[in-house]
Each structure stands twice: as C-alpha cells, then as structure tokens.
Amino acid sequence: MIPEDHKEHDKLAEQTIIKHVEEYGWHIAYFESNGYAPTFAYTIGLYKTFKHPEIISFGLNTDILTWILNHAGGMIKNGEIIEINKLYDGFLENFPVQFLEVQMESYSEYFGYGSWFYDWHDFPAFQLVWPDKESKFPWEEGFNKDWKVLQKLLDRDTHFKFYELKNLGVYTTRRVMEDKYPILYVHHEKDGDWQFLGGTTNKSKDIKLVCLEEIVKLDPTINALCDLPYGWKAERKTVAENWDRSECEE
C-alpha cells in the first residue's frame, strides 16, 4: 500500500495505535471477514519497541486472534525471541502453533496500518499458523481441505494471492484464453463461482472452464481481486486502470 491509498484510513485509529505502542509496546489491528476473505489480525509496534518482527494471523475469531497475538507480545516483552518453523505450545488449548516468515510481496494486502506506522519503510513480519483438529498444518498432507481458505500462507506462492486452491475451476471465455482478450469484468457469485470475462460474447459456446491459477498466470493484476466478496463484481476499462468494485444487484 502506498501513502495515497492510506488517506481513507481513520485518523482516530492512527492516534489509538500510537497511544497503545507508547503505553504497552504494541497495538493489535484486526479486520473482520467480509464473508469471503477471512478475519485476520496483526501487531503494530513489536519491531519498534523490541526489534522483533511483527506478527499476523488469520482465520480465528477476533477475541482469539487478539489473545494469541498479545500472548506472543508478552513472550517477546519478557525477552523471548520467536523462531520460525518451530512448534510452540500455550497459544491454543491442546494444539501447537508455528511461525512463518512473511514475504514482502504480501504486505500491501494486509499491513496497511503497519506500513503507515513505519512511514512506509520495510519491517519484518512473521505469520502465526495454527493446525486443524488432527494437529496437521496447512502445508501437510491430510490437512482439513475445508480450512485451507482460512489461512493464506504468506511465506510462499506470492504470485498467487487467492484463498482458494490453484486448481479451482473458474469460468472465462475462449477469447480471453486463446486470443488473449484482456479481462475487464470479474464476477464472484454468491455460490462461490468466479467469472473472468473480457467484454466479448458470453454465449455458451464461448464459455471455457479453466483453473484459477491459469487466469492469474495470464494476468497477474487479477490478484488485486483476491478479497472480492461473494456477490460482488469488479470492472475496469483497460488493464492499466484500477478495478471499480460494486455489489451485484439482486
């Protein structure tokens, strides 16, 4: 996120962040699910106060996310240095957690207030990742596939930012895939289906079912819509323009 994009952010929230960092050493910023993209929360201030990477986590309710991030903050305040790829107990009852190193390519989607706090300078961040009920982590074979959308792993696949699996079937047109027509219209249906259209005919004979990863490879700017809610659409006149989002009419 660049400074111009941040202008809409609440000044009161910024004042609260500064106050909490001064008083406690860090602040917890959390963002509720929009019905599609999961709830997430992250710390702001750990790097300034303790020279420790900030921490982000996804997919749990805000009370739990706030507690586990504050628990991590307390550990750091007491002198512990959290390590990546190591099991930690004490965060979730009966289940361990791990930490991953967040790649910089993911910052623009999630660390808006954090980037503002650090005046748009780089800062390190870890992701706290939790397992399923069988204690399997998202990258392990057998992990609950229904829970994969709850935790986007920010240490990998930065070229593919959607929450779904890469092989998810989505709808587009032959003109888009074969003739390289630009994608100008995207619909995320209430039932979860995606449509990526190019302003050409939408006749059934032109419709083509492809993997979501194929769409992203064809046009990486589609990643900007990775959090488009169910029942919403996005449009643009050219690939050089920003997407205009709106809720679909009933």
Alpha helices in 165-211 (DSSP H): 174-178
Mean pLDDT of 33-54: 97
* pTM, to two decimals: 0.89
State the Cα–Cα distance between residues 127 and 107, nearest whole angstrom.
Answer: 12
Amino acid at 60: L
Over the stretch 131-176, which tens digit does the pLDDT of each residue have? 999 999 999 999 998 898 999 999 998 899 999 989 999 999 999 9
- Name the token pair of 240: 């050089």
CB atoms within 10 A of CB 195: 17
What is the model's pLDDT at position 206? 85
3-state secondary structure of 21: helix
Over the stretch 105-116, which tens digit does the pLDDT of each residue have? 999 899 999 999
State the Cα–Cα distance between residues 50 and 44, nearest whole angstrom.
Answer: 11
3-state secondary structure of 119: coil
Assess contact for 32 and 63: CB atoms under 8 A.
Answer: no
Banded pLDDT at 7 (limits 50, 70, 90): low
3-state secondary structure of 55: strand
Q: Is the pLDDT of residue 1 over 50?
A: no
What is the model's pLDDT at position 249? 83
- Name the token pair of 71: 């628990």
Q: How far is CA 191 from the centre of its chain?
A: 21
What is the model's pLDDT at position 10? 80
